[in-house]
Structure 1
Amino acid sequence: MKPWNSHVLAIGVLLFSSISRADIVLGASERDADFEVGCMYPLTGPSALWGNDAVVALELALEELEAEPLSPKMRVYVADTMGKQFRSKEIAQDFIDRGVEVLCGVVNSNIALEVSQLALKHQRLFLGAGHSSARLTEGERHPWYFHLNNDASQSSDAGARYLRDLKQSEGWETVSYIGPDYEYGHQIWQTMMASLKRHKVEYRVKDELYSLLGETDYHLYIKALLEDPPDVLVSGHWTRDLVSFLEQAANAGLLEKTHFVNFDTGGGYFVLSRLGDTLPEGLVLSGRSHVNWPETSRNQRYVSAFFSKTQRFPTFIAQDAYTVIRVLDTAWQQSPQKTLTGMRDAIPGLEVALPEDPEGFRSYIDPETHKIMQYHAVGTTVKTDGFWPATRMLGEWKIYPPAISSTPATP
């Protein structure tokens, strides 16, 4: 760790010698920083929005720390992964070789698994912010990794509780699943079935469908679902894939014949903004964070500050990145030794107030699983003004607290 010095907010471009790529630099100067953070996000290519949103949120969080005298001085690098697995692993190794103490980010779960193993090998703190795989906090869990956004198992658990409640009110019986044919898509369905079993929800599966990676025409799947529509259709698609599926499903009339639900990322602003009036009312969606929930001053300040910088509303990836800085700040302040190991040891049980927390609750890190524990808000699409280009937002909320036996430690 570097000595305590005054904070200097700076934005620049750095060219690493071993990899020909530009990196955004935020926060303190190299001389003044207490420690350095290396974040990995796609800044170019089809997924560039995620990385650009993360950069804005990192900057917002660092600006907030300038007004807090006990906060550490961080120098934050953001490297462009382009969404490519080998490049991401090379970037992570480059950060480690340069002496960067903390790794953060990563949108793709497979890439995150590789980065996590590097963090373990070299004893670097890795704060996962952007990916959904539960594997990193289950069989692949280790002392140097912490997951700072709800993962697939947590969103599925909240979804199962929603379907349990829906069954009591509407008495549905059958369910079908459609999602992408890679780890994330399979994990969503596997964790959903496990959660339904845990909450003692009885159901019968009609169809289990998986679209190929990169597939954009869903008409054959929609036709199959229309032949014998389930009472509930669980979706595991996300972002552009979900947008394409919903457009085609709406045009085919499928969404009028089943109760469509997507509990992981389908309710994020990205999907809502891309569909506009094409998005029907009455779909049940959720996400990691929402621009219109909770209606707290903290969330409203965060959304307003993000909009002021970008003239757009933030995606959930933004708040995942924002959380990284807030967790590091709190861990540093609570650590008796201002060291990397001291911060790592301060994170289990740590509480941190975030924009997505409802009144009276603070997100916390479960000491056993190293997962962040947060409320999960499930909403129904309703016509709404004020969030253009989205014309449908989520409302009629059903709010579910984190489901785990562990309790938050008192800071």
Structure 2
Amino acid sequence: MALNPSIMQAVEKLDYRVTVGDVAAQAGLEVNVAEKELLALASEAGGHLQVAQTGDILYQFPKHFRAVLRNKYWRLRLKEWWERVWRVLFYLIRISFGIILLLSIFIIFATIFIILTSVNRDNNNRGGRSGGGSIIFFPRFLWGPDLFWFFDPNYGRYQQRRQHRRSSSSENKMNFLESVFSFLFGDGNPNANLEERRWQAIATTIRNNKGAVVAEQIAPYLDELGEGYSQEFEDYMLPVLSRFNGRPEVSPDGQIVYHFPELQVSAQQQNQQSVAAYLRESPWRFSEASSGQLSLAAGLGGVNIVGGLFLGYLLRDGASQLGGLVAFTASIYWLLIGYGIAFLAVPLGRYFWIKWRNQKIEARNERRQKRAIALNQADSELQKKLTFANQFAAQNTISGEDIAYTTETDLIEQESQRSAQIDAEWRRRLEEGN
């Protein structure tokens, strides 16, 4: 069966001995999902169950459980192999857009050179010696300011001089071909793991408060709290209760607090963990490439369009009849022009989309920040709720001495060890009494 990578990572971070609450808090998963996945992982990876005298269950995993799974299932080995292959393929895809751009520019201007050379030759043949030849003139704006040095053998030293002028703190390791992809499509969603961060922060907040919280402590990590009765009756807490098996508790004054017994049990001593005051989304960036790389990419895109338009003017006069490269370029002319237009249109559209998206993100961040400030400036009513919640706060750490049964050893052997421990405890008490 398919095993959850988040569960395996959580087990490793928690030193291979965990409770369901430990894993649910670490991975930000629903308690029921974490329990189901832990059972599956223990079954497949040779883990063991430990039952405490309180009835709580722990899971003990071997430190090499990933190797056990790899040896057991060819699908996991295939997945790891594909991840390595995909990294190479995706890199090739990223640099292909820059290669296509340079190839398009080369085809366009090589075709222009062939056409103008042919026209000049015809003019010389008709004009005879009196013509004295003619000069092929290419306006500099067609080539752009940096096109010639880009193909120059000393381009590497030129680029080094430019990079040397940058401050060391803003040094960019992205090469030009990668920067073209970044200019077109950006560098991915900065909030791809937002939901994972959200639930991890909520679970950490609950654990820091020993399993008992009020809604105002959770609100800074949520998006929308609803309006009217939905917000007044704290309906936004329902997903949190469902995810971590919590239950509401009502005070004599009618105030509601939330109790999470599953998150009060741990296999290790739980200290206060740092958690952000509120969930902050990162704004989207247009590109991680340097300003020089972006300017160069945009400039080459402009060169591609201007050169394509000039080539179209030459092809209208029947130059495509020259054959060879000219005929080939004429057959893909609209493809070259379309690529050039899309090369600038896509980033332009993405720029305005990012501005609109960041406005939404900033508005959500401001709302969550205001809730965190309101929590820090708690009024008397909120203080009463926090005091009532403390009545349900508890922390139960299960040590090796608390284990009543484990699947690691035979039951008879466990009973024998248990009897020996009881006898030793009675002798110790008798000695202390004497």
Q: Which structure shows the higher strand fraction?
A: 1
Q: Which structure shows the higher helix fraction?
A: 2
**Which has the bigger relative contact order, CA under 8 A and spacing at least 6?**
2
Instruction: Select the structure of larger CA radius of gyration.
Output: 2
TM-score grouping bracket, smaller chain normalisation: under 0.3
TM-score normalized by the length of structure 1: 0.23
TM-score normalized by the length of structure 2: 0.22
